Structure 1
Amino acid sequence: MESRFQALIFSFTVLLAVAPEFAVADQPCDAQLCGDYSACDSIGCDGGCDECRLKTLLGGCAEKGVVFSGDLVQYYQAVTDGGLRQQGRYGGLATYGALFDFGKLGLTQGTFLQIRGQSQFGESINGDTGSLLIASNTNGTLPTADGQDTALTDFLLTQFLSERFAVFAGRLNTFDGTLNAFAHGRGKTQFMNIALATNPIAFRTSPYVTYGAGFTVLGKEGTPVFSFSVIDPNDYATRGDLDELYSDGVTIASETRLPTQLMGRPGHVLLGGTWSNREVLDLSQIARLPVSTAQPLPRASSSWSVYGNFDHYLTTYDKAGTQGWGVFGRWGIADDDTNPVEWFLSAGIGGNSPICGRRQDSFGLGWYYSATTDAIPGLIFSDDAQGVEAFYSVALTEKVFLSPDVQWARSANGTVDDAWAMGLRLFMTL
């Protein structure tokens, strides 16, 4: 472990040494950083890059019909106090893929194929903090929580029937949903904690990698404003078989995300929901079972969740409103008979650095509260979970970012001491 840490520190040192040659710090304060695909995964673009990335995936930058993409996130985190173990862990996640524009390849117009894979390596502190339901390191759970797995996460075919309406089908991952300008980033570019990178309220009904089909309605700027999908409720991250597709039922998921203008500043509001008829454990009946029983565990015939979020810029640095900083919030409620999380809240501030000349740097300060269902009192989850995270991401180059990160977490298991964790994250894109 020590050698891994030294290797990571050596990488940081080398990058710091070469950074001045490629520095982005001297760019004008109103620099446009989302004009090309390479900037889409950079921290400095924040929410504006969600739009940039989506436009790119729709073929805006695929001049020759194929766009290759890839990124690597490495991290070293340690629980410094509390939790289950005071231990340092090094690990990372590589993501790679390609987008094929069939029209530019001389095939059918408006047809796109997205292929993406992920490989996890090393370890994370998720098992050390004692937080049973909330992972302190999002990328330590992808593509599976078991660690050191490789998976095909996307093989998705999209067909545009008009400029603002598209249908899709195939293998997909669900982490591209619940977009937020200041609290998304898949754990790579903004918050590391999964409760601040996405909304965990829907995890019961929406697996990370699965098969499905649906449609998307786009707004004037080419970004989705409404989506509807029917997916298999089972996780296929490490499975390739289709023999039992939809054999356990379906999950229906829908989201709408609309732009807003308040006090002359841009933002978004999002509302979504999921419903699944897959049989799951009925938590409300467990406590009523005898201490010693041979009877099957009780099952419920369905589960659901409803969630939403908002982001709003308080300050913008460019005319397009894609750079600046502001506030965000998330909420969610779920079927407390089937979901360990009954309701969820998170809020905070984040965005691009207010330091002139460091606009591609970013920061975030967030808080979350995860309310445990009362259906299983005192068995495992005897308390509610909550936590706080703060990070500052330094743009070493336009494609390399170094982020110090600190977290405090209170576990849903009341017997575990509050955990403090500190870490460094290095994110690089092609």
Structure 2
Amino acid sequence: MIASSGDRAKHRTALFLSLGLSAMSAGAGSHAAYAADLTIPAAATSPAPAPVPWLLGDWNGARTRLLNAGIDFQFGYTSELAGNATGGQRQQVAYTDQWVFGATFDLAKLGVVPGGTIQVTWTDRNGSNLSDDARLGTLQQVQEVFGRGQTLRLTDFWYDQKFVNGMVDWKIGRIPFGEDFASFACDFQNLTFCGAQPGNLVGNYIYNWPVSYWATRLKFNIQGFGYFQFGVFDSNPGYLDVSQSALPVIYSGSTGLLIPAELAWLPKFGDLQGSYKFGGWYDTSTAPNVVTDINGNPAVLSGLPPQQSRGRYGGYISFVQQVLRPSQASSAGALSLFLNATMADRRTATTDYQIAGGLTYTGPLPSRPQDDIGFAVGTTHVNSRVAWSEELQNLAGLGPIAVQGNEYAIEFYYTYRPLPGLQIRPNIQYVIDPGGTSANPNALVFGLKTVANF
């Protein structure tokens, strides 16, 4: 996608700001939910992280006083720069970014409702992305923050209420799918390793951040084990509409209900914490079969409309385990491993599974105990039924068409924390068989991700 002149102006302004921030110097983190930047989920972090610092300071103590009174403002910025040394149809550099503006209202601290919380978040995305601009042909973007329309969106607009001393947790409003289900950190820049995997795999109906649904979620916290939760989301392509995306409108055109469920085991082995999530979803919508026509024959040969299948479904696991605990003096020395895997039904999903694993390590340099490194490898697979259809087209003389299989991605990053509230993360990505085919040359991509929490 090529940015408009207005986008280019925003692009230049954001680039200037990013370069200015990068030139400043001295440690820290970001707000996990809103700057989309976590090393590992909070449930698997030890020791508990300190309060997130702010790049613009505490406003002479006013911000801490507001926080203690029950009002927490979030102002975040994420930028991603990427350039391809190999791969694609041309060498190019692309830049994209996201602004986040939000507020959390703790109704207990405000003296309104014990156990109640309200969250409102808007996001604004700008720029373009290398996967499109350089025509890399990848299944997963090399700049995860791009997508779903470069526009202002209402991302969170929900109410959460806790009952029975927090054992029961009910949430209702506009909710992103990956905020509660299959949630995962977004430190890596390649989309294979970022956020909720179901939305990466079947993004035609499961929408990740910054898109949200009208939805509700009920969670049961199980002491000494973890939790069980399920939700009901309005399955509706209208949420992708950018014309009213900043407003809490109710869209017509619902196709059914998206119903996810998740069981989480949160063990602690000595001082080493873990998070083991097992989940799945069922969408009641009617969806087209990716291969078969209304008569049960290959649609690419008959030219007839596709067969309509009732229901779409899938399952996932998301494991994070700390294997080395940090030192008492700092977070240095913490090593965590992760594994994510998702499968979708082969009737309706063009890409039917994704697997990703890797590690994060804090304090790789004695002089930089708060810095961290990450390494990950993963694959996204094109449904073999789709590949069979592509082979049929070639045999029938309708080709040549590249037969698709697995796309493989590798990424390494280093996080430098020069100031409280600022993270600068250079990364190297290598994508093998972009699009799941050797017809596309392998892509070597150099990236830079900057995260600021103001």
TM-score by length of 1: 0.82
Is the alpha carbon distance of 1:302 and 1:6 closer, same or farther for their aligned partners in structure 2, counting shifts above 3 Å? closer
User: Percent identity over the alignment?
Assistant: 17
The CA deviation string for residues 252-303 of structure 1, in whole angstroms up to 9 with x for no partner, is 101222223457622221111111111122013157126463x433221111
**Structure-2 separation of matches of 1:86 and 1:322:** 39
**Structure-1 separation of matches of 2:18 and 2:298:** 54
Quote the residue 1:192 is aligned against. Answer: 189
**Structure-2 separation of matches of 1:110 and 1:316:** 32
Matched ranges for 1:65-76 at <5 A: 65-76=70-81
Matched ranges for 1:338-357 at <5 A: 338-357=348-367
**Structure-2 separation of matches of 1:297 and 1:155:** 37
SS in 1 for 2:228: strand
Matching residue's letter, 1:258: W
Quote the residue 2:111 is aligned against. Answer: 106
The CA deviation string for residues 403-423 of structure 1, in whole angstroms up to 9 with x for no partner, is 111111132252211111112
* Structure 2 gaps, min length 5: 53-65, 391-400
Quote the residue 2:252 is aligned against. Answer: 244
State whether residues 39 and 360 of structure 2, in contact with CA within 8 Å, keep that contact through their aligned partners in structure 1: no
1:304 and 2:301 matched: no
Quote the residue 2:447 is aligned against. Answer: 423
Quote the residue 1:27 is aligned against. Answer: none
Matching residue's letter, 1:411: P
Is the alpha carbon distance of 1:50 and 1:264 closer, same or farther for their aligned partners in structure 2, counting shifts above 3 Å? closer
**Structure-1 separation of matches of 2:366 and 2:38:** 13
Judge which range, 256-265 or 99-108, deviates more: 256-265
* Structure 1 position 310, deviation (Å): 1.1
State whether residues 426 and 448 of structure 2, in contact with CA within 8 Å, keep that contact through their aligned partners in structure 1: yes
**Structure-1 separation of matches of 2:233 and 2:42:** 28
Quote the residue 1:89 is aligned against. Answer: 94
**Structure-2 separation of matches of 1:321 and 1:262:** 20
**Structure-1 separation of matches of 2:118 and 2:10:** 37
Judge which range, 334-343 or 256-265, deviates more: 256-265
CA RMSD of aligned residues (A): 3.5
Is the alpha carbon distance of 1:38 and 1:108 closer, same or farther for their aligned partners in structure 2, counting shifts above 3 Å? same
Quote the residue 1:411 is aligned against. Answer: 434
**Structure-1 separation of matches of 2:445 and 2:79:** 16
**Structure-2 separation of matches of 1:40 and 1:132:** 27
* Structure 1 gaps, min length 5: 25-32
Matching residue's letter, 2:206: S
Quote the residue 1:375 is aligned against. Answer: 385
Is the alpha carbon distance of 1:9 and 1:211 closer, same or farther for their aligned partners in structure 2, counting shifts above 3 Å? closer
Quote the residue 1:273 is aligned against. Answer: 280
Aligned pairs, how many?
401
* Structure 1 position 43, deviation (Å): 6.2
**Structure-2 separation of matches of 1:370 and 1:349:** 19
The CA deviation string for residues 77-129 of structure 1, in whole angstroms up to 9 with x for no partner, is 11221123321112211111111122333322222111111101111113135
1:137 and 2:148 matched: no
TM-score by length of 2: 0.78
Quote the residue 1:167 is aligned against. Answer: 170
State whether residues 220 and 228 of structure 2, in contact with CA within 8 Å, keep that contact through their aligned partners in structure 1: yes
Quote the residue 1:30 is aligned against. Answer: none
The CA deviation string for residues 343-365 of structure 1, in whole angstroms up to 9 with x for no partner, is 22111111323323423212111
**Structure-1 separation of matches of 2:342 and 2:312:** 14
* Structure 1 position 37, deviation (Å): 6.8
Matched ranges for 1:1-80 at <5 A: 14-15=20-21, 18-19=24-25, 23-24=26-27, 46-48=40-42, 62-80=67-85
State whether residues 269 and 308 of structure 1, in contact with CA within 8 Å, keep that contact through their aligned partners in structure 2: yes
* Structure 1 position 214, deviation (Å): 1.8
**Structure-2 separation of matches of 1:44 and 1:273:** 23
**Structure-1 separation of matches of 2:421 and 2:446:** 23
Judge which range, 305-314 or 197-206, deviates more: 197-206
Quote the residue 2:129 is aligned against. Answer: 124
Is the alpha carbon distance of 1:206 and 1:104 closer, same or farther for their aligned partners in structure 2, counting shifts above 3 Å? same
SS in 1 for 2:338: strand
**Structure-2 separation of matches of 1:396 and 1:46:** 21
Matched ranges for 1:181-220 at <5 A: 184-186=184-186, 190-198=187-195, 199=197, 200-201=200-201, 203-208=203-208, 209-218=212-221
Is the alpha carbon distance of 1:100 and 1:348 closer, same or farther for their aligned partners in structure 2, counting shifts above 3 Å? same
